[in-house]
Amino acid sequence: MADPARVRTEVGFGEASRPAERPKPGEGSGDAPGSSSTSSEPAAGQTTAKEEGRARSAAGEEEEEGSSSLHPPPAEKLKVEHDKKKEKRQKVDEDEIKKMQVLVSSFSEEQLNRYEMYRRSAFPKAAIKRLIQSITGSSVSQNVVIAMSGISKVFAGEIVEEALDVCEKWGDTPPLQPKHMREAVRRLKSREQTPNTKHKHILFH
């Protein structure tokens, strides 16, 4: 008959000597999908954040373009204003040319001859240059001489026009006389349409 104590010890030794059962590949892997899903969630969040950033940058660029179109830079604005002024000036010049053509076409033969003489007449530039140099005491360029010659011609034309009005008002007939010219200059001076040759002391209070 076997000893009960010996049997128990052998049984216990046999259970202890058995190797621990390893889990099967299919078992215990229930946590793996959860771990993969948690790792994929941050990646998806990063991609959505990048897309939002790109969308915001694109929206900011569109707003900048819209604001730039509504408010152009100062240089471009000045260029546009200059172009508009140039077009307006050209339009005014064209209108003046058309009006002058209509006026010349309505001239009589005598008026046309007088107009041609007026266009051909000019002050000698050498005399104008000497006069300017004697007053300023320095040499001047040819452009200044041309400009002063043209201004002098316009001033002489205004005096002659006023003298003709004086002659007609007084009941005289052309040609003009010195008294008509003097009265024309006096009237222009009274209207302050002639250059003042006298020096004035202006006091500032």
Give the global pTM: 0.49
Nearest to 176 by CA among 188, 187, 186, 166: 166
| Angle at alpha carbon of residue 133, lines to 129 and 136, rounded to 5° | 135
CB 139 within 8 A of CB 168: no
What's the whole-number mean pLDDT along residues 111-140?
A: 90
For 147-192, how does the pLDDT look when each residue is reduced to its tens digit (9 = 90+)?
999 999 999 999 999 999 999 999 998 889 999 999 999 999 998 8
Distance between CA 172 and CA 180 in Å, rounded? 10
Q: Write the single-letter amino acid at 102.
A: V
Predicted pLDDT of residue 35:
45
Alpha helices in the chain (DSSP H): 4-17, 31-70, 74-105, 109-120, 125-136, 142-169, 178-190
What's the whole-number mean pLDDT along residues 133-154?
A: 92
Q: Does residue 10 register a pLDDT over 60?
A: no
Predicted pLDDT of residue 176:
92
Q: What pLDDT band is residue 50 in, cutting at 50, 70 and 90?
A: confident
Q: What pLDDT band is residue 59 in, cutting at 50, 70 and 90?
A: low
